[in-house]
Amino acid sequence: MRRTPPALGVGLSCASDDPALWQAVAGHLDYVEITPEHLCRERIDGARRHMRPVPGALATTLARSAGVPIVVHGVELSIGSACGWNAAYIDILDQLWAARPFAWHSEHLGFLLAHGDAPGEVRYAGVPLPLPTTDEALDLVAPRAAALVARYPVPFLLENGVHYLPHLPGARDEVEFLNALTERSGCDLLLDLFNFHCNAKNHGWDPLAALSRLRLDRVVEIHVAGGVMHDGYLLDAHSGAVPEEVWPLVDHVVARAPRLGGITFEILDGAAERLGAAGIREQLARARESWQLRPAQTEAARVAC
């Protein structure tokens, strides 16, 4: 049986340290999503990475979120790297769990680290890169995800990414790969519907048709964000309001995802200043409209899913 997340509601993911902004949105949030790496510093000794929490950073972050629950969204695990994942991320996640338990945690489905040209050399890609949808990729990621599922008594989610490459190797499409991964590993999905929309638009497929094939009972969290057009591509930029085309996808999933724990609006700190507190509140209010579309059910029914 899969772990059942609490039904939290609407959350915000933003690295802004502007107290006025947090104060202005505080009453409109049910939870805050934090990125552990934003609370840390890293050292690299050869091939080994170490992270340490900055003293007081977690307390400051928790204080600004006014006591609402936290969920965790990491960026540096590199779960899909054939050369090995970043164990320093697990260390810092352990420390965070000990300091403040989270409702669930998630990471990106992709890779950042790869073998370099010289033996033993590891190359850091500098931008998240997608995985092929091959059996080999599935065989690599599924046991790692299963290990993270087992590590804490809360759900572990993997997030579908955005990519701009024309052809990824593998016989499956993105939906088939996500379905297979959640089935084999026991992990759940962080369904980024802006990423999904970007991939659909950039690679020419129908997002609603694709969603109809996705295991929505695996979706624990939804991400929404804004982006920009560049050279004919829609980019995932976390740069402002969610495009209107994305909200129908959100409504579709919310109405059909029995284990959904929350809808998170993501925005970069600089973009948050431009959008302003009122603009962020509007996005959160729109997300809350979607949240109301959840199928009615008892907590017992949620547990049974």
Partner 1 sequence: MSLAEWQRALAAAVTAPTAARVGQDDPGLALTRMLQRNWRYTRLTHALPLTMRALSRDERDELLARYCDTCPCVSFFPVHEARSFAGFLAGLPLRSPHLASLAAMEVAMIDAFEAEVFGDAASPRTDAGGPLRLAVGASRVRFAASPGQVLSAALAGDALPATDAADHELLVAPGIAGLARAPTADERRVLDECERGEPTGPADVVATLLAEQVLARAS
Q: Which is nearer to partner 1, 108 or 223 (CB)?
A: 108
170 vs 279 by CB, closer to partner 1 = 170
How far, in Å, CA of 235 to CA of 147, rounded? 32
Nearest in space to 194 (alpha carbons), one of 174, 220, 169, 224: 224
Q: Which is nearer to partner 1, 18 or 289 (CB)?
A: 18
E strands, the chain, in order = 9-13, 31-34, 40-45, 48-53, 70-73, 105-108, 111-115, 122-129, 156-159, 188-192, 219-224, 227-230, 233-236, 262-266
Closest approach of partner 1 to the CB of residue 81, in Å: 7
Query: Where are any strands of DSSP class E within 163-276?
Result: 188-192, 219-224, 227-230, 233-236, 262-266
* CB of 224 closer than 8 Å to CB of 264: yes
Query: What is the contact surface with partner 1 in residues (CB under 8 A)?
Result: 37, 40-44, 49-50, 52-55, 75-76, 81-83, 111-112, 114-117, 123-127, 129, 132, 134, 136-137, 140, 163-166, 169, 202, 230-233, 235
Whichever of 49 and 172 has its CB closer to partner 1, that residue is: 49
Phi then psi dihedrals of residue 34, to 5 deg: -120, 150
In angstroms, the CA 204 to CA 270 distance is 31
* Greatest pairwise CA separation for the chain in angstroms: 57
Query: How near is the Cβ of 274 to partner 1 at its closest, in Å?
Result: 15
26 vs 235, which CB is nearer to partner 1?
A: 235
The least distance separating partner 1 from the CB of residue 48, rounded to whole angstroms, comes to: 12
Tokens in use for 84? 């090995």
Nearest to 108 by CA among 135, 90, 87, 131: 131
Residue 41 CA: distances (Å) to CA of 14, 55, 89, 92, 111 = 18, 10, 11, 10, 20
Taking the complex as a whole, the smallest distance from the CB of residue 125 to partner 1 amounts, in Å, to 4
Q: Which is nearer to partner 1, 195 or 290 (CB)?
A: 195
Amino acid occupying residue 44: I
**Shortest Å distance, C-beta 80 to partner 1:** 8
- Which CB atom, from 126 or from 153, has the smaller least distance to partner 1? 126
Smallest distance, partner 1 to C-beta of residue 139, A: 9
